[in-house]
Amino acid sequence: MEKPADTQYPIHDLLRRRWSPRAFAERMVEPEKLRSLFEAARWAPSCFNAQPWRFVIATRDVSAEHERLLNCLVEGNRAWAHRVPVLILSVAKLTFDDGSPNRHAWHDVGLAVENLIVQATAFGLAVHQMAGFDAGKARTEVKLPDGFEPVAMIAVGYPGDPSMLPEKLHQKELASRARKPSRDFVFAGDWGKPAPLISR
């Protein structure tokens, strides 16, 4: 199902097409496509080229690993994510190699994930990021060492039929997309001062 954004200004079609569905087909994602997703993530920019992103992947064909990540999700996400063929935990390395804090680590993990998402969209895959998971449980389940922090859970797969979702989620799936206008978050020089280049 496609839900391209109704943009105020022209943007790349991959960005217009990207959205976060909950209806996923059970079809497995080809290994070569998964490799390309992580290759796209690999080439994201990062502070001092520290590349603080790490990913723990679980595919449904290795059911024990998939179940462990699935069980870290809150109940509302488990209601649809059990069909997803690929679950990924994104992780941030919180320090540089010299041990000093990297306060941009989470930002850089987000950049890497966005690269992954855009590449997935180019392949016709769907991606849904989730904050609704138990970070402490995820840390234990994947045996995260000190200095690394769970960031988000990510579902990856082919788009599915929205009618398979519970009614409340089905309605969300079909609802139109909305965003704040650019004038609400683009300022000129000072906080809250409207930017003349943004007309609406």
pLDDT of residue 1: 80
Measure the CA–CA gap between 128 and 84, rounded to whole angstroms.
10
Give DSSP secondary structure letters for the chain: -------SS---HHHHH----S-B-SPPPPHHHHHHHHHHHHT---GGG---EEEEEEETTSHHHHHHHHTTB-HHHHHHHTT-SEEEEEEEE-B-TTS-B-TTHHHHHHHHHHHHHHHHHHTT-EEEEE--B-HHHHHHHTTPPTTEEEEEEEEEE-B--GGGS-HHHHHHHHSPP----GGGT-BSSSTTPBPTT---
pLDDT of residue 199: 67
CA dihedral 113, 114, 116, 117 (to 10 degrees): 120
Q: What is the pLDDT of residues 136-176, one digit of tens each?
A: 999 999 999 999 999 999 999 999 999 999 888 889 898 99
Model confidence at 81: pLDDT above 90? yes
Q: What is the pLDDT of residues 123-136, one digit of tens each?
A: 999 999 999 999 99
Measure the CA–CA gap between 86 and 88, rounded to whole angstroms.
7
Model confidence at 194: pLDDT above 80? yes
* Distances from the Cα of 143 to the Cα of 93, 110, 135, 140, 146, angstroms: 14, 22, 12, 5, 10
Does the pTM surpass 0.85? The reply is yes
Phi, psi of 145, rounded to the nearest 5 degrees: -75, 165
pLDDT over 70 for what percent of the chain?
Answer: 99
pLDDT of residue 152: 98
Crossing angle, helix 105-122 and helix 31-42, to 10 degrees? 140
